[in-house]
Structure formats: C-alpha cells, structure tokens
Amino acid sequence: MAKELTNSQRDELIEQYVELVVDNMDTKDLARYAIDGITEYIEKLSDIELKEEVGNYDEELYDELVDNVTQQYPKQDVKQSLNQMETFIPGFHD
C-alpha cells in the first residue's frame, strides 16, 4: 500500500524524479524536448502574438522568416539546390 504524501513531499518527489529523468537524457533528447515545448507554446499564439514573440527575439527576424516561407520555390527544390551547391564547395564534406 502506497504511503500518502503531503503536498511538500509530493513536490519533492516530483523534483527528484524530474532531475533523474533529465540527468539521463542526452543532448539530442533535451533539444527535442525543448523544440517540442516551444513549438507547442508558439502554435497557440495568435498571428499578432507570433509576430511580437519573434520580434522580441530579433526585430528583423519575422520579416526574414516570412520571406523564407513565402518564396516561390518549394522546400524540396531549395534542399535539392543546397545539396547541389555542396558539391561545388571544395572540402565541404572533409
């Protein structure tokens, strides 16, 4: 039978558990967790809030990102072009 915990004991148990979980995560896991959390937060913002949030990071970034996502070239074409460019950069893959 599980012991009943006080609120303080429960909080301490949670803190210790979370620290153990995080200590056992590698950098890739931590980055993925951060990306997922930030994405979830950002997706809930209105367009105005999104623009403000991005602007708080960098004043010019929102306009740059809008330009990036509204280009006439599909994403696959951009990736393909970048891959082709890599072959022309001596020592790129070294």
pLDDT digits (tens, 9 = 90+) for 72-84: 766 666 666 666 6
CA angle at 64 for the pair 58 and 90, rounded to the nearest 5° = 105
Q: Please give the pLDDT value at position 2.
A: 81
50 domain residue, yes or no? yes
Q: Are 61 and 54 a contacting pair, CB within 8 Å?
A: yes
Q: What is the pLDDT of residues 47-57, one digit of tens each?
A: 999 999 999 99
Q: Please give the pLDDT value at position 41.
A: 96
C-alpha distances (whole Å) from 4 to each of 12, 41, 45, 57, 90 are 14, 34, 39, 45, 66
Amino acid at 23: D
Q: What is the mean pLDDT of the chain?
A: 86
37 domain residue, yes or no? no
91 domain residue, yes or no? no
Range of the domain at 64: 46-74
Sign for the CA dihedral angle at 15, 17, 23, 28 comes to negative
66 domain residue, yes or no? yes
1 domain residue, yes or no? no
